[in-house]
Amino acid sequence: MKSDQVIVSFRGVRKTYDGETLVVKQLDLDIYQGEFLTLLGPSGSGKTTCLMMLAGFEFPTGGEIWLDGKLLNKVPPHKRDIGMVFQNYALFPHLSVQQNVEYPLTVRKMSAAERTERTHNALKMVRMESFAKRYPAQLSGGQQQRIALARALVFEPKLVLMDEPLGALDKQLREHMQYELKSLHEKLGVTFVYVTHDQGEALTMSDRVAVFDKGIVQQLDTVDHLYEAPCNEFVANFIGDSNKLRGTIEQTQGDFCDIRLADGTRVSGLNVAKAQPGAQAIACIRPERMKLSQSLGRPGANALAGEAKSLIYFGDHVRMRCGLREQDECFVKVPLGTEALDAFAPGAPIALEFAPEHLRVFA
């Protein structure tokens, strides 16, 4: 359970490998006791570098990293009281499952009795106690992942770090392990810091998500706010699906503004960027927030004229690809069983309607 107590603090942290390009730029980030925080971003965004600095495998070029009131900048990894799960699991092939899990306790010179008890409890926690005598090569990817997690938890660390630990698993097993990890986190109450480039994974498991791009945290928020209220175009496009509209801001009215699109259509949306009239803008809206109709409906409503291009079946919904005048193609999510779909054969004229509060306008 997340508390209000800060366990990790990044203060003005910077990192460069070549002395010129900053991989991480001026990072200020607090991580709370007991939360599941995910560092999310594309390759090269700085998320893994942050995790490696917290683990002690990299040191910051500038700034400070604190863990539970202790400055970590020059503390070696084995003295940080942090558990680590790697993407490739990093299990010792010549050691049995039991010996792999027991290894951190051996390093810490615990007694044999305590090592045996803790190892058994850790394996039981991940439901792998019956595999204690096997070797890593005799385990599946999902089983190896569980052993790596047990090894990270066995010495009861203050913090567990995970670097894309599910990346090597197939889709079905990966989704199953997401729920397992979240359930284990809720049961133990240990702070988890998780790195991934998979936004679905981040939304499924996390209490909060820090979205990285170009060495900067673009937005740090709960998963629902991140999805429903992205602060800029990058976050809107990286988290979930978004349709984009390009145009010029004509006027502003409080939190909202009117945009004139290239074909002369006017729509209203939330002026997230606080842009002024005359500014070029990109507006984003989620596919499920657009409604399909055969006519433009009432005057003054947010509506776009276009044509149906194709239907894509997704199991729980149908996704319609739509062509718009002088804009990129967009997608609309339509629930299964929607009778009106029969009228929207490829080439049929359509209208897309949406509420102003769901269109987020960025400069």
Q: What was the pLDDT predicted at 231?
A: 94
Count of C-beta atoms within a 10 Å radius of residue 6: 13
* Residue 345: CATH number of its domain: 2.40.50.100
Q: What was the pLDDT predicted at 331?
A: 92
In sequence order, what E strands does 254-362 have? Answer: 256-261, 266-271, 280-285, 291-293, 303-313, 317-324, 330-335, 349-353, 360-362
- Domain interval for residue 335: 241-362
pTM of the full structure: 0.88
Judge if 160 and 260 occupy the same domain. no
Q: What was the pLDDT predicted at 213?
A: 95
The answer to whether residue 1 is domain-embedded is: no
Q: What was the pLDDT predicted at 345?
A: 77
Judge if 251 and 313 occupy the same domain. yes
Distance (Å, whole) CA 320 – CA 307 = 10
Judge if 57 and 127 occupy the same domain. yes
Judge if 222 and 202 occupy the same domain. yes
Judge if 226 and 268 occupy the same domain. no
The answer to whether residue 317 is domain-embedded is: yes
The answer to whether residue 199 is domain-embedded is: yes
Distance (Å, whole) CA 221 – CA 240 = 15
pLDDT tens digits for range 181-209 = 898 888 888 999 999 999 989 999 999 99
Judge if 105 and 225 occupy the same domain. yes
3-state secondary structure of 228: helix
Of 212, 235, 258, the domain-final residue: 235
Judge if 22 and 157 occupy the same domain. yes
For helices 171-188 and 141-153, the axis angle rounded to 10 degrees is: 20
Judge if 216 and 288 occupy the same domain. no
Judge if 183 and 199 occupy the same domain. yes
The answer to whether residue 311 is domain-embedded is: yes
Judge if 302 and 192 occupy the same domain. no
8 Å CB contact between 303 and 351: yes
The answer to whether residue 109 is domain-embedded is: yes
Distance (Å, whole) CA 132 – CA 72 = 34
Task: Please list the ranges in the chain whose pLDDT falls under 50.
Answer: none
Judge if 216 and 259 occupy the same domain. no
3-state secondary structure of 232: coil
> Strand order of the sheet with strand 70-71?
22-32, 6-16, 62-67, 70-71
Distance (Å, whole) CA 94 – CA 100 = 9
Of 209, 235, 261, the domain-final residue: 235
Judge if 218 and 288 occupy the same domain. no
- Give the CA-trace dihedral at 236, 238, 240, 242, to 10 degrees: 50
The number of folded domains in the chain is 2
